[in-house]
Structure 1
């Protein structure tokens, strides 16, 4: 990547991370076919002695921007499927935007469904899946399937989120049609709806080292560091570290080699984003 391109991308990402911090951004490209990302779960159907997942990563229907998406095959004998995300913690009491992209096809074809396929409801839980609340439902009254991906968006109000919330999401796909359908899900994103600027921490008093780093990345500042978030250059959150006391270092040995952004939040809630390279 040319230096000028990297500088422009860094400026774009740091601006957007400060305005809308990403909690989750999943495009399913790094997940093996017929699997789900780590800590994602789905219901199954038992056929003879085999458990067949209701949702799985596939390249039968290409992703909205790439090669993979999560698909589910709805037909007469499969009535009610669910797909559940991991649990997200260390949240702040801010409004959260949730979005994903959806398509619905006649099974085994690239032809969009022209009749009712049923309903797709998205739920959220703040107690790690014990209780669920509906965010909204997609059906033939508010969604017309097309060849192109369509974005479904919801908002979770700030007053719903508390510091110890254990947030997760679940889709329920309920069949009520007369045909055989493929649902294609892609580009699931959860992010804070920050619209106000945040205070910048004093970079003259900040040290992040070594850079490049192999295993342990150290952070020195004159105030306690209460939260660190690591993002790759696509904006995907690959690590969150938080503490009531100061965080002085993080282990980045599991990251693949490349360039990352470290978002730093101090005890006075000032923030800054630093670029670092993982060897």
Structure 2
């Protein structure tokens, strides 16, 4: 009976399509005296929900009058939601006062064409054609969505849920209930803007850069200045200070009423020392009628580099993981989920020998359907995995217990030496981060040794053909000049096949006994000229 219970829970959980972790708490901290983000979620996205059969769902946040009275006469001008997979149908819906258990009449609705929705796991901003003036009464903000079968679209946070505020759901748009199964909230926020009442009123609305990270250095400073008043402004003085450093400047351009400009300062902030830096940016417009809104502050931390190995998954890898891995000289079968529940395996003792400029077949097998795989090499050895360090991005294993082959190419300009290589998997949603928290999958850390590839004689190679490539049983070599001998060399430098005294233009090489991987085929003709070609054996 225990196994059946686990399976039922698993089956229901697989109705969820999990979104990448995107930390955007600082996004909400950019509120000013004139702008406010209202939301009931925690500020950290951590999952996605959708029914297995692809049915429609209506979800919403409830903002009672006790929260909205302070914003009476403000205007709701746009809404932001998280969408992880392309929906069949998406419609924003904003409701007026109803009851504590059900929204009131629809104040605004807007259908969003699926083709206009950004890439997976992004915050979708939906502008209201006509802003809604806040009455101070209850407000409900939500959307109706229909997803494809087995692919959820509705973004959820880390929880815990704000029961009765951030977790309302309806199947028909009429009968609503608090969805407590996930103990999470939907990712929905509304942007409120205060009415313009003053003529001269301008301020720094946001410090965009720098941002918190590891190994910071000379970082750009980027700020946003907004005109909150009714009068057009120009030649606006501003200042930015951070830990005993400062810069004073004048924005010479023109900013119209209710518009903003974003620009980068001509100086950079020296953040090379690890620790916290406190930034403050202000405008100092003469005659500003609301100077209390002139400034914005931001905290930036230069973090000591640390390999992320914790909180990588909420649910783990007991049933969702990569179980088999084969690349170059390393093959690992029956990979098990670690007992400590971290879904992280330290396999740095598995050293892959790879050559710059070469292409290799990677073979992986997943224990569950629709599993995505990404691989990075930490070329700069800073314990971070950045987009320019991908060697495989979001390969998909549609079926479980089925080997899939993907080609990996090592850049010609890759840094030679020993580096960390990370493989990360995720169920149903592409892997966009090596460190953010997902729900199902596994992380494997390996070591890679990068070296120069064997030189290739390009002139001779033009007169040489090898087919098929990749091969599973045999390869046929056809050379313009008679072949004297050939060798097949694996990437550890070991000769695995050697044939001598061939004396023919055409010859076959039996590779059926070789494991899958990349090899160098070295051919020597009767004149003593040698040519090297890359060969892939794929079973």
Q: TM-score range by the shorter chain?
A: 0.3 to 0.5
Q: Which has the larger radius of gyration?
A: 2
Higher strand share: 2
Q: TM-score, normalised by structure 2?
A: 0.22
Q: Which has the higher contact order (CA 8 A, sep 6+)?
A: 1
